[in-house]
Amino acid sequence: MSKFKIITLGALIASSFSAVHAADGPWSLGAAALVTPNLYKGDQDRVYPVPMIGYEGDSFYLRGLTAGYYLWNDQTDKLSITAYYSPLFFRAKDSDRHDMRQLNNRYATLMAGLSYAHYTQYGFLRTVLAGDTLDNSNGITWDTAWLYRYTTDRLTLTPGIGITWSSENQNEYYYGVSKNESARSGMSSYDPNDSWAPYVELSVNYKLTDNWNVFGMGRYVRLADEVTSSPMVDKEWTGILMTGITYSF
């Protein structure tokens, strides 16, 4: 069957590392399990193992699937060049639907761009603008959110609300159906425009000891009409639920 992991995984892993590293050492190692619904027709929801490897330095950071180099880094503002692996893909031969098996594959890619965070007493802004670097979709995405971090002795809660913009190229590659694909599969051809998708998220981190942390996070995404109108897609929403454990040193 086809596999699908949405692009927001990178942002969620980065968020979890930020919470874990708030008061711990620069390095962390751990593991997590990710559950996400599949947007494409003819597939099932999936559970994926996710390695959690992190480093937080004054100039460089590594947060699972994301890495970055700071251009500006102080208590209030953090601007960085960032790159992350986007594991969104579709493998036609694995689908359990005949029409979906006639489509072209869609491949995962490496996204790169700029990341910025601004911290205030009322919460913080997180925004990432990135584009495909491997000539797969040649798409661009912009993710921006406002979050508030609440911390007690051992518990950290970080709720947030945000929105993701996807360019026309991004949507066309992952959700469009070309005329050739339409002729082979019997699906209607489809050429989407750019789109906006709002979401809410929540990250939870609990310190078991000075070094060990358990965490959980989730995001609910309301899919844009440009995505739900695709003949490849049969859902109105998507999301992510992930939980795991890390050791910081």
Per-residue pLDDT of the chain (249 residues; tens, 9 = 90+): 334 444 455 555 555 555 555 546 789 999 988 887 778 888 666 777 888 888 999 999 998 889 999 999 999 999 999 999 887 888 898 888 999 999 999 998 999 999 999 999 999 999 999 999 999 999 999 999 999 999 998 999 999 999 999 999 999 999 999 999 999 999 999 999 999 999 999 999 999 998 999 999 999 999 999 999 999 998 898 888 889 999 999
DSSP 235-249: -SEEEEEEEEEEEE-
Beta-ladder partners of 27: 55
> Does the residue 5 lie in any domain?
no
pLDDT number for residue 5: 42
> Does the residue 4 lie in any domain?
no
Q: Terminus-to-terminus CA distance in the chain, angstroms?
A: 39
pLDDT number for residue 211: 92
Number of domains in the chain: 1
Round to whole Å and give the CA distance between 241 and 219. 7
pLDDT number for residue 149: 94
**What CATH code is carried by the domain that includes residue 82?**
2.40.160.40
pLDDT number for residue 49: 84
Name the 3-class secondary structure at 1.
coil
Q: Are strands 27-36 and 140-147 parallel, antiparallel or unpaired?
A: unpaired
> Does the residue 114 lie in any domain?
yes
pLDDT number for residue 12: 57
pLDDT number for residue 34: 83
pLDDT number for residue 90: 86
In this structure, what token pair is assigned to residue 203?
């990250």
pLDDT number for residue 87: 77
> Does the residue 24 lie in any domain?
no
> Does the residue 23 lie in any domain?
no
Half-sphere exposure of 6 (CA within 13 A, CB side): 31
Whether the CB-CB separation of 228 and 10 falls below 8 Å is answered with no
Round to whole Å and give the CA distance between 247 and 34. 18
The boundaries of the domain holding residue 233 are 30-248
Whether the CB-CB separation of 182 and 189 falls below 8 Å is answered with yes
> Does the residue 25 lie in any domain?
no
> Does the residue 14 lie in any domain?
no
In this structure, what token pair is assigned to residue 91?
């493998």
Whether the CB-CB separation of 212 and 5 falls below 8 Å is answered with no
Whether the CB-CB separation of 36 and 46 falls below 8 Å is answered with yes
> Does the residue 42 lie in any domain?
yes
For 162, phi and psi rounded to 5 degrees?
A: -155, -175
